[in-house]
């Protein structure tokens, strides 16, 4: 354990200009070329400006970038594992040169900082992926981001901070490194162990943090990431409410909760080292590093990207240089026979060990099943249940697709009435004709216009689903790719059930309720689906209904039965 220095953590960069300088710079920035920061860049810039990324004083220039990618160090020799780069479009890069000053704006157009442009270069992304993450497999979230979301050109240079990115949420829990050090100093916390997390905390986490703090005789900082975490994680609003409940369960005056607006890369060992340096900058003396710290999950062959203890090994290797001590985390499990949590390496053959995985927890939430007391605290579980209601309380979309005259609208109407009879959730019908009148009145029937029409329907349905309602859509939706996009937008927000109304063209044409087929055959209506325009048959619809032989009532009933089987109604 290294001797404690006061204040701990070494020199802290503060890249903000003084008030007067910032006012002048803001005025001058009106004439600078301007770059709108992405969500990740806003996270990075906040931590650059407030010193959490000390010793960096801006986005990396090319020689530092090369040194970090290849050797995990800046050119000065200081350990720095993660390339913090400003990625911009080719067009923007072409409009600036080294020595220029550029304005960096948040999503609302507020100038957060200016950058004195240093190097401008096109990185070899495969080399960056291999060097930093040890893989070019896009199943790794950071490699996916690098290849598909990040812009192609990097701009390095010094930053001049004008104002901190705005946060409207949990202001009372957001400390800068300087504020955090001040608080530790004021409270006399000479040794502080940080706990990094991107998940809700349950009893096992509390047990292990308490043990870690006791073992190294330190106070505890719960320091969850609230910037960008792994896609699919529990949203930070829910998590922070859970952390607030759990905080109340630590012995008084021992533990603090503060939020870290970091954009994680899920970079395993290198990310663990980055986390350690950041926590040192916040004034912590220790960091808990567990099994598979900042792990990205499985690669495209189903193998782990990193070994479970690679992160601990890397930190051990560089322990001398790090100026923050790792507390290796032993996984805590519940031994039912002892009615207590114990480190897994202290369990024996006689112990009956219980565990609930993240996947199992999500299943129990989705199905409204019991989550036992030994696993979590009731107020934490209540909080999770509020934002992860069981399926019968979630919103969902029923998306009918089929030819004109196939019976979509009639079945959709029957379904709507039956769902309203069941009650409990508001039901909205987005029928083809209704939408074309109220949402898409300017659109025709070209592929482009049909796609736009379906995208709009998908957007409205996604909002309804997100807010717990039922959306019934009944457009022709002739294109597979567009239907898939709608599915992918809605699926993470609730249920999505595609119903292919497969009534054959001959039957639809025979019915010809609106006389449109006759007009299409006569060439009076152009681009008519099934006659002079394509209909791509769905391959993965949850339900296929041919209304030639069955009534609308029975058709709607079949949809209800499916919704019941999936758990969306009961």
- Binding-site ranges for ligand PPS (CB under 6 A): 404-405, 409, 432-433, 436, 445, 450, 453-454, 475-478, 514, 516, 525, 527-529, 533
- The H or E element spanning position 427 is strand 427-431
Please identify which of the residues 85, 114, 135, 198 carries the catalytic annotation: 198
Dihedral sign, Cα of residue 45, residue 326, residue 208, residue 252: negative
State which residue has the least CB distance to ligand PPS: 432
Cα angle value 38/41/47 (rounded, 5°)? 150
Contacts of 141 (CB under 8 A, 6+ apart): 230, 231, 265, 266, 296, 297
Give the other-Cβ count within 10 Å of 360's Cβ.
13
Nearer to ligand PPS, 125 or 449 (CB): 449
In the complex, minimum distance from the CB of residue 233 to ligand PPS, in angstroms, rounded to a whole number: 35
Nearer to ligand PPS, 379 or 533 (CB): 533
Nearer to ligand PPS, 304 or 512 (CB): 512
In the complex, minimum distance from the CB of residue 428 to ligand PPS, in angstroms, rounded to a whole number: 16
Nearer to ligand PPS, 50 or 406 (CB): 406
Q: Is 564 helix (H, G, I), strand (E, B) or coil?
A: helix
In the complex, minimum distance from the CB of residue 447 to ligand PPS, in angstroms, rounded to a whole number: 9
Please identify which of the residues 14, 75, 136, 199 carries the catalytic annotation: 199
**CA 388: distance to chain centroid?**
16
Q: Is the peptide bond before 510 cis (omega within 30 degrees of 0)?
A: no
User: In the Cβ-directed half-sphere of 214, how many Cα atoms lie within 13 Å?
Assistant: 8
Cβ(305)–Cβ(299) under 8 Å?
yes
Cβ(529)–Cβ(535) under 8 Å?
yes
Mark whether 265 is an active-site residue: no
Nearer to ligand PPS, 79 or 525 (CB): 525
Cβ(203)–Cβ(315) under 8 Å?
no
Contacts of 488 (CB under 8 A, 6+ apart): none
Give me the residue label for tokens 């030819």: 403
Distance between CA atoms of residues 392 and 570, nearest Å:
7
Burial class (CB in 10 A: 0-12, 13-18, 19+), 162: buried
Mark whether 529 is an active-site residue: no
Nearer to ligand PPS, 290 or 402 (CB): 402
Question: Which value, in Å, is the radius of gyration of the alpha carbons in the chain?
Answer: 28
Cα angle value 410/411/412 (rounded, 5°)? 90
Distance between CA atoms of residues 24 and 75, nearest Å:
33
Nearer to ligand PPS, 151 or 453 (CB): 453
Closest CA to 207 of 360, 376, 346: 376
- The H or E element spanning position 181 is helix 177-187
Cβ(258)–Cβ(175) under 8 Å?
yes
In the complex, minimum distance from the CB of residue 425 to ligand PPS, in angstroms, rounded to a whole number: 24
Nearer to ligand PPS, 395 or 405 (CB): 405
Q: Residue 332 corresponds to which tokens in the numbers above?
A: 């805590």
Mark whether 198 is an active-site residue: yes
Distance between CA atoms of residues 369 and 363, nearest Å:
8
Nearer to ligand PPS, 170 or 479 (CB): 479
Nearer to ligand PPS, 43 or 476 (CB): 476
Cβ(112)–Cβ(165) under 8 Å?
yes
Closest CA to 193 of 8, 421, 67, 401: 8
Give me the residue label for tokens 């960008």: 228
Please identify which of the residues 85, 197, 285, 453 carries the catalytic annotation: 197
In the complex, minimum distance from the CB of residue 533 to ligand PPS, in angstroms, rounded to a whole number: 6
Give me the residue label for tokens 């379904």: 415
Cβ(418)–Cβ(554) under 8 Å?
no
In the complex, minimum distance from the CB of residue 540 to ligand PPS, in angstroms, rounded to a whole number: 18
Give me the residue label for tokens 């309804």: 464
Q: Is 536 helix (H, G, I), strand (E, B) or coil?
A: coil
- As annotated, the active-site residues are 197-199
């Amino acid at each position: 354990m290294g001797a404690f220095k006061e204040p701990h953590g070494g020199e802290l960069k503060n890249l903000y200009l003084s008030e007067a300088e910032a006012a002048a710079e803001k005025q001058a920035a009106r004439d600078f070329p301007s770059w709108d920061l992405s969500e990740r860049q806003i996270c990075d810039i906040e931590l650059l400006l407030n010193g959490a990324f000390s010793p960096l004083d801006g986005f990396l220039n090319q020689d530092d970038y090369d040194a970090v990618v290849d050797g995990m160090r800046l050119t000065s020799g200081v350990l720095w594992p993660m390339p913090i780069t400003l990625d911009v479009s080719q067009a923007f890069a072409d409009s600036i040169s080294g020595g220029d000053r550029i304005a960096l704006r948040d999503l609302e157009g507020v100038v957060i900082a200016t950058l004195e442009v240093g190097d401008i270069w096109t990185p070899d992304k495969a080399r960056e992926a291999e060097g930093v993450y040890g893989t070019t497999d896009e199943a790794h979230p950071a490699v996916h981001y690098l290849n598909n979301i990040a812009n192609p050109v990097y701009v390095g240079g010094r930053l001049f901070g004008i104002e901190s990115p705005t946060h409207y949420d949990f202001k009372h829990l957001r400390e800068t490194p300087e504020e955090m050090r001040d608080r530790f100093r004021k409270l006399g916390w000479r040794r502080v162990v940080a706990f990094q997390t991107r998940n809700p905390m349950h009893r096992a986490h509390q047990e292990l943090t308490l043990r870690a703090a006791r073992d190294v005789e330190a106070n505890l900082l719960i320091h969850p990431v609230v910037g960008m975490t792994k896609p699919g994680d529990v949203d930070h609003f829910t998590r922070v409410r859970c952390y607030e409940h759990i905080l109340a369960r630590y012995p008084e005056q021992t533990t603090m909760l503060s939020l870290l607006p970091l954009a994680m890369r899920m970079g395993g060992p290198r990310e663990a080292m980055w986390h350690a340096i950041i926590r040192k900058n916040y004034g912590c003396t220790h960091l808990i590093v567990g099994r598979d710290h900042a792990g990205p999950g499985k690669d495209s062959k189903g193998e782990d990207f990193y070994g479970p203890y690679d992160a601990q090994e890397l930190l051990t290797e560089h322990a001398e240089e790090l100026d923050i001590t790792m507390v290796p985390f032993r996984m805590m499990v519940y031994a039912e026979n002892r009615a207590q949590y114990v480190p897994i390496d202290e369990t024996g053959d006689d112990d009956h060990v219980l565990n609930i995985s993240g996947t199992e927890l999500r299943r129990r939430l989705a199905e409204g099943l019991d989550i036992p007391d030994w696993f979590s605290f009731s107020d934490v579980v209540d909080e999770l249940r509020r934002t992860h209601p069981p399926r019968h309380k979630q919103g969902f979309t029923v998306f009918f697709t089929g030819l004109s005259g196939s019976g979509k609208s009639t079945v959709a109407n029957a379904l709507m009435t039956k769902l309203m009879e069941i009650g409990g959730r508001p039901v909205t019908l987005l029928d083809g004709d209704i939408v074309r009148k109220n949402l898409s009145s300017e659109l025709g029937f070209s592929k482009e216009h049909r796609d736009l029409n379906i995208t709009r329907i998908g957007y409205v349905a996604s909002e309804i689903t997100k807010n717990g309602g039922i959306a019934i859509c009944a457009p022709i939706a002739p294109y597979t790719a567009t239907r898939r996009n709608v599915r992918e937008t809605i699926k993470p927000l609730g249920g999505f059930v595609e119903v292919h109304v497969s009534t054959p063209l001959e039957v639809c044409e025979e019915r010809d309720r609106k006389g449109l087929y006759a007009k299409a055959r006569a060439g009076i209506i152009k681009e008519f689906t099934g006659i002079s325009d394509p209909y791509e048959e769905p391959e993965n619809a949850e339900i296929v209904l041919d209304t030639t032989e069955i009534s609308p009532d029975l058709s709607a009933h079949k949809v209800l039965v499916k919704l019941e089987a999936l758990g969306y109604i009961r």
